[in-house]
Amino acid sequence: MQDQAYKLRLLAQDLHRQVEEELKARARTARVITVTSGKGGVGKTNFSLNLGIALQKLNKRTILIDADLGMANVDVVLGLVPRYTLYDVIKGEKEIDEIIVEGPDGLKIIPGGSGIQELANLDRERLESIITQIYRLDGEADLIIIDTGAGLSQNVMSFVLAADEVILLTTPEPTAITDAYGLVKNLFRHRPDSKVYLVVNMAESDEEAEMVARKLEIVTQKFLQAQITCLGYILNDPHVARAVKMQVPFIISYPSARASRRIKEVAARLVDVPDYGEEKGLKGFLDRMLAFFGRRQ
């Protein structure tokens, strides 16, 4: 009898711990997604900004953080002149939620500090403090998109490794592909459970983009025993450069241009990623718990 009471108590304790863990996990609801690339100039900033707007259009509350420290330019692409930037947060003079500006379609933007050399060489402590602040934005968004610089610098890798998910952008240029693979390799070495998506940008055709994606998928599988998921292809589109000149995101200035249509598809796929469905989180847990008790009656 005593033995049974003891077992029940253990079971209750165990359940209590599970509920606590689940609630803790539940408290963090925003998906934090870093956009990065091996090589520079492949279109990360344009992609991130237009993706953010596309997500807003899908009724997902989105925050875009310009974390290309040292060469921030979301503000330039948008024609914004922000009063405060991440630089003020790093100096400890502002909290991250005080520097948010509103962009198109209600997209929230955290501007980066343009051309400030100090930002490109942050020490570990300051980087960690920014990342902690980013996680504090949690309840205010469904998705947090972080636009980073290119390559394997410590700054970029910190953002890449801190995120739940990573979108890797590449063009069909051989150097961009090689550098993309270098980044993937580094990423999986540091974090074997990384969730990595691929987007091929500026391809001349779907066939060309598909070849790039297959190549990267195959080498990642063969040499790293890891998987990357392709989210789509954004073709080379002259509307992108035109929109940059006008300082109006292409998804707004040219909504039916092929780049805009593809960005919308990528946003829809991102929202649909099965791991983040309704059955996860607290509801899933409660369902499992009820099923568990049901079996015992």
User: Least distance to ligand ADP from the beta carbon of 129, Å?
Assistant: 24
Which residues here bind ligand ADP, judged by CB under 6 A? Answer: 37, 40-46, 201-202, 234, 236-237, 240-241, 244, 259
User: Least distance to ligand ADP from the beta carbon of 31, Å?
Assistant: 21
Residue 113 interacts with, from Mg ion, ligand ADP, none (CB under 5-8 Å by kind): none
Q: Which residues ranging from 55 to 74 are in contact with Mg ion (CB under 5 A)?
A: 68
- Dig out the tokens for 71 from the structure: 């060469």
Nearest residue relative to Mg ion (C-beta)? 45
DSSP 47: H
Q: Which is nearer to ligand ADP, 41 or 192 (CB)?
A: 41
User: Least distance to ligand ADP from the beta carbon of 267, Å?
Assistant: 15
Question: What are the CA-CA distances from residue 267 to residues 3, 106, 213, 261 (Å)?
Answer: 55, 16, 18, 10
In sequence order, what are the residues at sequence separation of 6 or more whose Cβ sits closer than 8 angstroms to the Cβ of residue 295? none
Q: Which is nearer to ligand ADP, 66 or 88 (CB)?
A: 66
Residue 63 interacts with, from Mg ion, ligand ADP, none (CB under 5-8 Å by kind): none
Q: Which is nearer to ligand ADP, 36 or 62 (CB)?
A: 36
Tokens 């691929």 correspond to 198
Q: Which is nearer to Mg ion, 74 or 216 (CB)?
A: 74
In sequence order, what are the residues at sequence separation of 6 or more whose Cβ sits closer than 8 angstroms to the Cβ of residue 232? 199, 200, 262, 265, 266, 269
User: Least distance to Mg ion from the beta carbon of 33, Å?
Assistant: 16
Contact present, 69 and 149 (Cβ < 8 Å): yes
Contact present, 212 and 200 (Cβ < 8 Å): yes
Residue 184 buriedness (CB in 10 A; 0-12 / 13-18 / 19+): buried
Q: In what order do the strands lie in the sheet with 62-67?
A: 101-102, 108-110, 62-67, 143-150, 31-37, 165-170, 195-203, 228-235
User: Least distance to Mg ion from the beta carbon of 50, Å?
Assistant: 13
Residue 130 interacts with, from ligand ADP, Mg ion, none (CB under 5-8 Å by kind): none
Q: Does the CA dihedral 43-46-49-55 come out positive or negative?
A: negative
Which residues, listed in sequence order, are joined to residue 16 by a DSSP beta bridge? none
Instruction: Establish if 45 lies at the interface with Mg ion (CB under 5 A).
Output: yes
- Say how many residues touch Mg ion, by CB under 5 A: 3
Give me the 100-139 binding string for Mg ion, x by CB under 5 A, dash otherwise. Answer: ----------------------------------------
Residues forming the site for Mg ion (CB under 5 A):
44-45, 68
